[in-house]
Each structure stands twice: as structure tokens, then as C-alpha cells.
Structure 1
Amino acid sequence: MRILFLCYRFNSLSQRLYCELTERGHEVSVELDVHPELTIEAAELYKPDLIIAPFLKRKIPPEVWKKYPTLIVHPGPPGDRGPHAIDWAILNNVKEWGVILLEASEEYDAGDIWAFRTFPIRFARKSSLYRNEITEGAVECVLEAIESLERGKISKTPQGEKYNWNKIEKERRRINWEEDSTEDVLRKIYASDSQPGATATLQGEEYYLYNAYPEEELKGKPGEIIAIRDEAICIGTGDGAIWITHLREKRKDSIKLPAVRVLKNIKAPEIPLKPWEKVDFKTYREIVYEEEKGVAYIYFNFYNGAMSTEQCYRLLETIRYAKKRPVKAIVLMGQEDFFSNGMNLNTIENAESPPDESWRNINAIDDVCEEILKTPDKLTVAGMQGNAGAGGVFMALNCDFVFAREGVVLNPHYKNIGNLYGSEFWTYILPRRVGWEMGKEVMENRMPISSRKAKEIGLIDDVFGKTPKEFRKLLKGKLEKFINSREYYEFIERKKRERTSPKWEEEIRKAREHELEKMKLNFYGFDTSYHIARYYFVHRKPHFRTPPYLAKHRRKIKL
């Protein structure tokens, strides 16, 4: 089928649906929601069999949905309408939620339902629920609807007149430190993450708060900053305390940053906690190190998968610690929502010199990758529970084995941020995995691929597990079996011979030097594409057109 996506942004859900449909043989083109007239034009240019709107912020013009079958993904169960569906569910402590696929209509979210799924709702960030339960349910709904269309047997259910309109007023997101319990504070932040953020007063000023963790040991006055750890702040509540990793100032051009980079003159003490230190209470840990049956697992909870220079240093320290331990394997696990997305563009944008900070950041990530590569006596593994992009994909590929969960979406390219050349030893690892021809295709393609497709082309080694929990369980079983087999010892012997040879050392050195020479031009050269693209990305500037790599219908035909 010819399918047109209408999106406000080509976000994680849109990318997942794109992968699922194109890899099933459907032709998909994407139009970003720039202007209603351009939406109408896109439909007329492409003449789709079906239009799907995975993520929109305004109504679709009637000139489109009256002419073409048009289905909208709404992140709520039947009877739910409005712009703040998941926010409303979290704030009201709803036990079950869902996702529906409905027809576009004159009234907002009022069209007939083609398919729906429900699920028990976790007490978690809105963005996490969206990337996991909502996304999985949306995929099932869309595939069900397409199958119905192809069979010519469409079953629709009217919405009915009784519904819940779920718009959340700003005051509902505001934190009152004196009156709100720790759970109340967490709920407001979870419901507002990643947009628009919960609001609160800190040190006499108003801020947006993001990414919260409960704290069971530390106590303090409500609203008082009582501790710092890994650039996060711990704040007292009415009955305990919470950690906040990111803040944003309440001004139009502000961006999300680690909390200590936003607040000034914090007088609270630094209370460090190493990833391998054992604690028996809930607290914030950016990196968690665990050993189990001869395997070291490193979980890194970097917000939105972005890795600042300082976070890279902390991850590097943890990997070096693991290399000294009596373990047979070291596994990089990332987190459930993201494995890694490479450089932290927000901290770079905020730096006094973005080119200098870009250079520091890419070198720090390369240090992590080189440390992984130079591990001759242990197995290294990437366990991709969540999505990955750009340098995050290639950091994973530096490991001996790369495993990913079903449904994970990968963007193994750098071009979408100002045509970056890329580093992380991709010129060394990519040809070894897929060959130069396929490697070139991977780097030139600016569209996402699924973990299933990545395995098919040889980019990663295996795909398994429907949920992060199932993936972790299967991964641990697979590793336990392998490290206790003869194959493991044979593998390590071969690896030692390769990774301790001067020829290999020279190859690695040249790969890094070549890539960084190209990246230096991206950061400091006359072409400012990277800096412009980074600015637009960080400040969430709306698109003024749909780029041709997304919109097949807008590509010029070359004769």
C-alpha cells in the first residue's frame, strides 16, 4: 500500500511505525505538519491508499480526510479525547490505559474507532509509557487496520457521546513543596516529562523540572536543595525527598540542562555514590554496576540517551573498574527507553564555545569506545533495551556482540545533524560487520531501521524479547551459557591475539585520527551546517518544510 504519514515531528512512534510498515513491503512517505495547505498539497502529490497520523498537534484539513482514508493514533483508551491523554492518566492515578486508532473527523478525536489496545499503567514518566506500552499498542492497532483494509472487511466502532476531555491546566502541573507528598511531586513530574515539564520554585525562582527519582535516606525542608550528585539535585518534600536531574528556566529561549548547570550558588553538599557501591534504599544513580554469575552489567540512565562529556568520563571510569574485576564479560545495558543517542547537543549548545565542547564531547565518547575495543581478555556485549541513534549505535557496535530487543529502532547515521562525518570508530567496525558496500548504504541512508532489519543485514548479532524485562532475562541466560562453554575460551584466545598485536593497535589509532580530523572540520570549518542543525534541534524549532529524505512525494525527478 501507498501510505502517507502526517507528523508534527518524526518522533519515536512515527519511526517505529515507519520501520514496521516499510519492512512489510508498504511504501511510506512522510509529511511534517508545517501548514494545512502543504498537508493538502502532500496528499494530492502522493495520492495515498491510506493516511496515518502517528503524532499531530492540530486537526487534519477536511480536504484531506474526506478524500483519503485517514487514521489518527490517540494515546488513550476508547472514551478518551483531548491533547493531554497520558498526562491525565498519570495525574489521576488511573490503573489501566490504552491507545486507539480512529478516523479523522470534524470534531477533535471524535471519529470512529478502527482498533484499540489497553494495558496496566506503570508509575513512570510519560515519555517512557509512550515509548513502550503506547508504541507497542499503536503498532498492533495499525497492523490490524491495514489487514482489515486489505481484506476489505473494516469493522468500526462509534465513539459515542460520553467521553473524557483530558486537557490539563498549568496549575495542575505546579509543585507545592509544603503541601505535596513525594508521590505527588513524582506524579506531577512524571505526567509532564518530557514536555512541558512540571513547574516549581527553587531558590526563589520559577523552573520547569524533569526526570525525577525518589530518595529514601536524605531528608530536608520542603523545597530546600539538600544534596548534589552527578549534576542532579536532591530536594526536600513534605515527607521525604526527590532527585531532579534536569531543569529549564522559565523563559522562551531556555533549554533543558543538568540541574547544577541551571541553578546558581547551590550551597548543598556533593554526596557521591559510585556505580558499584551497594545501597539498600531508593536513591538516584546515574550509572549502576552489577555483577551476576561472572558477568558485569553496566546500566547508564542518561536522560533521553544523550551523553555529555562528563557522563562519558563517568561511564569510562565504570568500564575501567569492570575490566579489573574477575568477570568474564562486560555488558553495556543503557536504559529501557534509550541505549544511547551519542553526544549531548544541549550541553554543547549551552557551552561558552560550542565548537570546543563538541570536540571535548566526541573525544570523550571515543575514549569510551576505545576502552571497549581494548579489552582483550573479556567478552564485551551491548544489550540494547531501548532505541539508539548516531554515536550511540556505533558505541554499541564496538562491542564483540550486539543484542537488541524486538521493536528497538536504530538510526545508524550522523547526517541528520548537519551532515556530521561521525566518529566512534565507525570506519573500523562497520566494514568488519557488514562490508564496505553495505556500510556505505547504512551511512548514506537517513531513515531509521528496526532491530530486526539490523540483524538481517548483519549490523547486530541477534534480536529477542518483547519487553525490556523479557530481553534482560533472555540476555542473561544466553551469556551465562556462552561464558561457560568451550567456544568462549576459543573466542577470547583469538581476541587476545588480535587485540594485542601492534598492527591492530595501529589500525585503531589511524581510524580515530581520520574520523576526528573530519569531525574537526564539522566543528571548526567554514560549513556551519552542524551548528545550525544543532541549534534547531535543541531549541525545538518547528520545520519550515519537509526534507526530501522524509517526503518521497517532494523529491525532484531527475531525467
Structure 2
Amino acid sequence: MRSLKILLLSSAFNGLTQRAWLDLRQAGHDPSVVLFTDEITVCRQVEASGADLVICPFLKDRVPEQLWNHPQRPVVIIHPGIVGDRGASALDWAITRQVNRWGVTALQAVEEMDAGPIWSTCEFYMPADVRKSELYNGPVSDAAIVCIRDVVEKFATGFVPVPLDYTQPGVIGRLQPNMTQADRTFSWFDCAAFIKRSIDAADGQPGVLASLLGGQYYLYDAHLDSRQGTPGETLAVQDDAVLVAAGDHSLWIGSLKRKAQAGQETFKLPARHVLAEQLAGVPVLDSSIAQQRFNALAYQPIRYRETDHVGELTFEFYNGAMSTEQCQRLVAALRWAKARDTQVLLIKGGRGSFSNGVHLNVIQAAKVPGLEAWANIQAIDDVCQELLTARQLVISGLTGSAGAGGVMLALAADIVLAREGIVLNPHYKTMGLYGSEYWTYSLPRAAGSEVAHKLTEECLPISAVQAMEYAMVQDIGPRCPHTFDLWLSQQAQSALTNPQYRDARARKAMLDIQQIERCREHELAQMQLDMVQNRQQFAEKCRNFVFKRKTCQTPQRLIAPWALTYEAGMPESRMLNG
């Protein structure tokens, strides 16, 4: 197939858009990106690009008529629903109604939302007890990539999309209203499973509005518990979560967002941070892995178990963000695990992101954000130090995507194993940071200084396949989370003798403690300038991220040379008038 000029029109360069961009590049294309800012600018950029095909992996805005009405250049929407499903709350309804099968549909943009002819569709079985972000980043993302590949192949062969026909027996999707808070509402007297499903269906955005300790909050990150109490009563605190009694059992609520008053802006924070002094007198449970036995069904953000000579430490922090306190708890857990009589230490993420580094929301909420950022970066450095200096052979299992310090945390291990389809963003510069987490040691050690410089300066995502080519990853395991966990355990069991990991074992013996400490000192000197003195506008960039400020333009690094060249060579009148 010839290389096509494919433009990705998206509301944000989110995980799915990054996967699509990487997958198209791997297939031999050179995709360009346009982030939706305003209708006039977007129309000008798309028309000026000279693109053959426009694909919208994640678009919350309506496609302007000037674009969808183009006779030769189709605009294809990737909709997270089965054929015939329409509306912006597709996944919310699918989780709420506990459908057995769901899917993704690629359809051509027309005047009526989600009603265009069908280019491709891919269905999957719905996982049980899945939250929206997990569904979106897992089965939906996988199905979307299948559809995008199919669309590109069909476009190259002159395929004509099939009109949506509700009279066909296989078309069971329907137009669905946008889900409101009235559709999500629950009573604490309802059963815990029902409440969890309501919260799961609103995960990420918008959350479920509910009363808690006399206030109104949007709830996120729910986990079932068997304990009982008076419905609505706060029973306990563990780490950052609060345990609230329901009609039958109870739920851990990990994150909250205070309902904003007029003129206010609020954002998600760990539940304990939001409720703060209101939790006085509520029992605080000991969550240390030394006291809490591994239980896959219990709420355990950090959990540990041993099999033969392998210690397995799992940490699961909501959205992959790691606050100062979370890092400190992880350091304590690592020190305990390192003292065990094991030869291999496997660290892995949970069901969401592996890690995205410091917790920007907690930083933004602090009285002095710069000082909280400074404390946070030192705490996550301590996590990396524990991994670098472990007596055991350390393996990191990238169960999900990772960014910035989260990538470098993984690289502090001796062996890095990745789940198929994950995306890595090994850079800091776009957030106005030099970076830490021993990256000036771990990244060149793995990939070489030239590649390390390229990755941190270009600020582009890389796939697991690319990471393996750069020697940042030693092997890639199955995409299915459960199968990957089994594969990961098998790799850990054989790591001491597996010839595939001989170089990694040898490299561990060459660790230079003085060098890694020099790297830390240098990085922290730079980070103090960035975080405390705001050298590169970190404070403003952090605020924009937390409050989800819309971008004012597409970053130059995401625009392919062919799109820039085409625009530069066009007469100004044509650029403006299309």
C-alpha cells in the first residue's frame, strides 16, 4: 500500500490518538495531527494540509460542514459503540446496562451526529466490573486500532462506506441521550455493587454527584468491601481512600471532586485530602504490606506476595499519579520487600496506567505548589533509588502506559517487560521540567546517550515495539491483562537463568553508586530551578493541565513535514477560503 497523507483530527493527543499515530507510522504512513481549537482554525489547517484522509480517534467537537462535505476527502469518526449506537455517552450506558457485547464503529462524518455510513466495525465481549477509563484504554482502544487499520486499507482500494440501516436485523444500536447526573444518581441505601457500577460508568468524567459527610462531591475510583454499617456512614480511612457504608456492604472511594460553587473551579483529589478534618475520629487502617496479607479482592493499592524465590509487589495508583505520600508508602513497601529472602523482585502496575510520575493535582492543591512539587520529586526519586540498589534482580512489568517519571521509574529496574499495545512518553519538557527519577543514568544506560537525547527533546510517544528496539524494554508480553500477568510471573520465575536476560544480569553487577548519586544531585539542582523558581513556566503548565485548559494550537512536533510543506506553499487566499 502506498503511503497516505492521513490527518488525525482530535480534541486532545490522548492515549488512543497516540496509539493510532504510532500504529499508522509503523504501517509506513506519516500521520499528521490537528488538535481541535476553533472551527475556523481547524478548517484552515485541514484544508491546507492536503490530506488524503481525515480520521477522528477522539473528537468531542462537531465536525464543521466545510470538512465533512468535501467530496474526495472523507472524515471518519471513531465512535466507541456498536453499529447504530449514537450519542456522547456510549460507554456510560454500556457499563450501566451491563451489556454482554460492545464495540467500536468507524463512520463517515455527516450533518447528523454519528449517523453517517459505516466504514468498519469491531466488537468485543464486555469485561465484568469494568470502569470507563479501563474499558476505553483497553478493549475500546484495541477495537479502535482494528477499525483504523481497516479504514486505511479500504480507503486505498476505493471502498464506498455502507449507509446506516436500522431495518437490518444486525443493527441493534440506537440513538441514546447524553447521560445526566439524574441517570447516575444512587442512594447509599442501594447495594454496593449498584453504586460501584454507577461510579464506574462515570469514571474519568464526569464522576457521580453524591452527598458525603454533609457535602456534595463527585465520586471516582470505587472498590467493593464486605464491611457493613449505617448507609452513608464513613467507616474507615486507608491510605487516600475512605470506606463508606452502603445498603448491604460498603465501598472504598479513592478520589473526590468538590461540587463547584458559582465562579469556582474544582478538580479531582484523593478523597482523604478533600475531606481532611472531617475525618477526625474515623479509624485509620494499617495498609502496610507487612501487616496486610495479599488479597486480590480487597482494596490494596500496594500489595505483595511471594512464589518460590520471586517477590511480587503491585502498586495501583489512580490514573498513574504518584503523590509524595504515595511514594513514601511505596518506598516503605520496597524496603520491606527487599529484606525478604528472595532473589527476584517483580514490581508491576495495576489495571490502569503503570505510572505517570508526580501527582500534578495534589501539587496544584497545595498552599505552595512549587514546594509540594519539590517534595514529590524527591519522594519519587527515593522510589527509584530503592529499585536501583536492590540486592534482588528487579523486573518492572509495564501493565499499562507510562509517562515522564513513570517511564524512568520502570527503567530503574534491571529488566523491563511491557504489555503489548502500551504507549510510553519518556520526556518532561512539555511540562516545563528538566526531569529527574535518575533519567540521566537509566535512560542512557538502556538506550544510549544519542537516543536518550532524541527522546527527551523530541517529546513524542513511542510504542512498546520501539522501546524494545531502543533496548528500553527487554520483551513484550500478551495484550490481555490476565494473560500478561501469567506471562510476567513465568518470566520472573525464569529470569535468573533465561539467556535472554543475560546482559541485564551482567549490567546489574556494574552498578556505579557514586555515578547514580551524581545524576540525582544534578537532576534535582535543575528541578529546583523548574519547580521552585518556575524557570520554564511549570506552574502555569501544571495549572493548565489540572484545570483541563484547551490547547490554543497544535504543537509543531505533531505536524508532519508534508502538512507543513503543503501549507507553506499555498497561496494565502486558498488557505483562508479552502
TM bin, normalised by shorter chain, reads: over 0.9
1:346 paired with 2:346, answer: no
Q: Distance in 2 between matches of 1:449 and 1:490?
A: 23
Distance 1:150 1:235, change over 3 A: same
1:201 paired with 2:211, answer: yes
1:268 paired with 2:273, answer: no
Distance 1:379 1:279, change over 3 A: closer
1:137 paired with 2:133, answer: no
Task: Report the 3-state secondary structure (helix = DSSP H, G, I; strand = E; otherwise coil) of the residue aligned with 2:335.
Answer: helix
Where does residue 267 of structure 2 map in the other structure? Answer: 255
Deviation at 1:336, TM superposition (A): 2.6
Where does residue 156 of structure 1 map in the other structure? Answer: 162
Q: What whole-Å deviation, never above 9, does each CA across 1:504-527 have from its counterpart, x for those lacking one?
A: 221111100000001011012253
Q: Distance in 2 between matches of 1:230 and 1:526?
A: 30
Q: What is the CA RMSD across the aligned residues, in angstroms? A: 2.0
Distance 1:159 1:43, change over 3 A: farther
> Does the 8 Å CA contact 2:401/2:422 hold for their aligned counterparts?
yes
Task: Report the 3-state secondary structure (helix = DSSP H, G, I; strand = E; otherwise coil) of the residue aligned with 1:165.
Answer: coil
Q: Distance in 1 between matches of 2:531 and 2:309?
A: 42
1:192 paired with 2:202, answer: yes
Task: Report the 3-state secondary structure (helix = DSSP H, G, I; strand = E; otherwise coil) of the residue aligned with 2:298.
Answer: coil
Deviation at 1:62, TM superposition (A): 1.4
Q: Distance in 2 between matches of 1:364 and 1:519?
A: 13
Q: Distance in 2 between matches of 1:81 and 1:412?
A: 36
Q: TM-score, normalised by structure 2?
A: 0.91
Q: Distance in 1 between matches of 2:517 and 2:318?
A: 31
Distance 1:526 1:14, change over 3 A: closer
Task: Report the 3-state secondary structure (helix = DSSP H, G, I; strand = E; otherwise coil) of the residue aligned with 1:27.
Answer: coil
Q: Distance in 1 between matches of 2:303 and 2:387?
A: 17
Deviation at 1:554, TM superposition (A): 5.8
Q: Which residue identity lines up with residue 222 of structure 1 in the other structure?
A: P
- Equivalent residues in 2 for 1:245-394 (5 A)? 245-251=254-260, 252-263=264-275, 264-266=277-279, 267-276=281-290, 277-278=292-293, 282-375=297-390, 377-394=391-408
> Does the 8 Å CA contact 1:110/1:159 hold for their aligned counterparts?
no
Q: Which residue identity lines up with residue 379 of structure 2 in the other structure?
A: A
Task: Report the 3-state secondary structure (helix = DSSP H, G, I; strand = E; otherwise coil) of the residue aligned with 1:483.
Answer: coil
After superposing the two structures, state which structure 1 stretch, 72-81 or 168-177, moved more. 168-177
Where does residue 456 of structure 2 map in the other structure? Answer: 443
Where does residue 152 of structure 2 map in the other structure? Answer: 146
Deviation at 1:257, TM superposition (A): 0.5
Correspondent of 2:180 among 169, 190, 193: 169
1:416 paired with 2:422, answer: no
> Does the 8 Å CA contact 1:209/1:247 hold for their aligned counterparts?
yes
Q: Distance in 1 between matches of 2:82 and 2:199?
A: 22
Distance 1:339 1:25, change over 3 A: same
Q: Which residue identity lines up with residue 359 of structure 1 in the other structure?
A: W
1:547 paired with 2:547, answer: no
Task: Report the 3-state secondary structure (helix = DSSP H, G, I; strand = E; otherwise coil) of the residue aligned with 2:495.
Answer: helix
> Does the 8 Å CA contact 1:111/1:159 hold for their aligned counterparts?
no
Q: Distance in 2 between matches of 1:285 and 1:164?
A: 39
Where does residue 25 of structure 1 map in the other structure? Answer: 28
Q: Distance in 2 between matches of 1:136 and 1:149?
A: 20
Distance 1:281 1:6, change over 3 A: closer
Q: Which residue identity lines up with residue 363 of structure 2 in the other structure?
A: I
Q: Distance in 2 between matches of 1:185 and 1:398?
A: 39
Deviation at 1:296, TM superposition (A): 1.2
Distance 1:491 1:108, change over 3 A: closer
- Equivalent residues in 2 for 1:82-161 (5 A)? 82-122=87-127, 123-154=129-160, 156-160=162-166
Q: What whole-Å deviation, never above 9, does each CA across 1:114-168 have from its counterpart, x for those lacking one?
A: 1111111122110100000000000001101111122334453524377232421
Gaps of 5+ in 2: 168-172, 570-578
Distance 1:423 1:557, change over 3 A: farther
Correspondent of 1:512 among 512, 520, 525: 520
Q: TM-score, normalised by structure 1?
A: 0.94
Q: Distance in 2 between matches of 1:254 and 1:293?
A: 47
After superposing the two structures, state which structure 1 stretch, 202-211 or 115-124, moved more. 115-124
State percent identity of aligned pairs.
38
Where does residue 521 of structure 1 map in the other structure? Answer: 529
Q: What whole-Å deviation, never above 9, does each CA across 1:50-72 have from its counterpart, x for those lacking one?
A: 10111111210111122221100
> Does the 8 Å CA contact 1:305/1:342 hold for their aligned counterparts?
yes
> Does the 8 Å CA contact 1:114/1:157 hold for their aligned counterparts?
no
Q: Distance in 1 between matches of 2:467 and 2:504?
A: 23
After superposing the two structures, state which structure 1 stretch, 134-143 or 87-96, moved more. 87-96
> Does the 8 Å CA contact 2:438/2:516 hold for their aligned counterparts?
yes
Q: Distance in 2 between matches of 1:110 and 1:155?
A: 12
Q: Distance in 1 between matches of 2:507 and 2:24?
A: 41
1:221 paired with 2:230, answer: yes
After superposing the two structures, state which structure 1 stretch, 291-300 or 225-234, moved more. 291-300
Distance 1:548 1:71, change over 3 A: same
Q: What is the number of equivalent residue pairs in this alignment?
A: 549
Deviation at 1:484, TM superposition (A): 4.9
Q: What whole-Å deviation, never above 9, does each CA across 1:221-277 have from its counterpart, x for those lacking one?
A: 111111000020000001110000100000141111010111132131101232352
After superposing the two structures, state which structure 1 stretch, 428-437 or 395-404, moved more. 428-437
Task: Report the 3-state secondary structure (helix = DSSP H, G, I; strand = E; otherwise coil) of the residue aligned with 1:80.
Answer: coil
> Does the 8 Å CA contact 1:316/1:367 hold for their aligned counterparts?
yes
Q: Which residue identity lines up with residue 155 of structure 2 in the other structure?
A: L
Where does residue 464 of structure 1 map in the other structure? Answer: 477
Q: Which residue identity lines up with residue 47 of structure 2 in the other structure?
A: E
Q: Which residue identity lines up with residue 307 of structure 1 in the other structure?
A: M
Deviation at 1:466, TM superposition (A): 2.0
> Does the 8 Å CA contact 1:99/1:117 hold for their aligned counterparts?
yes
Deviation at 1:487, TM superposition (A): 8.9
Correspondent of 1:242 among 230, 238, 251: 251
Q: Which residue identity lines up with residue 215 of structure 1 in the other structure?
A: D
Deviation at 1:550, TM superposition (A): 2.3
Gaps of 5+ in 1: none
Correspondent of 2:52 among 49, 52, 57: 49
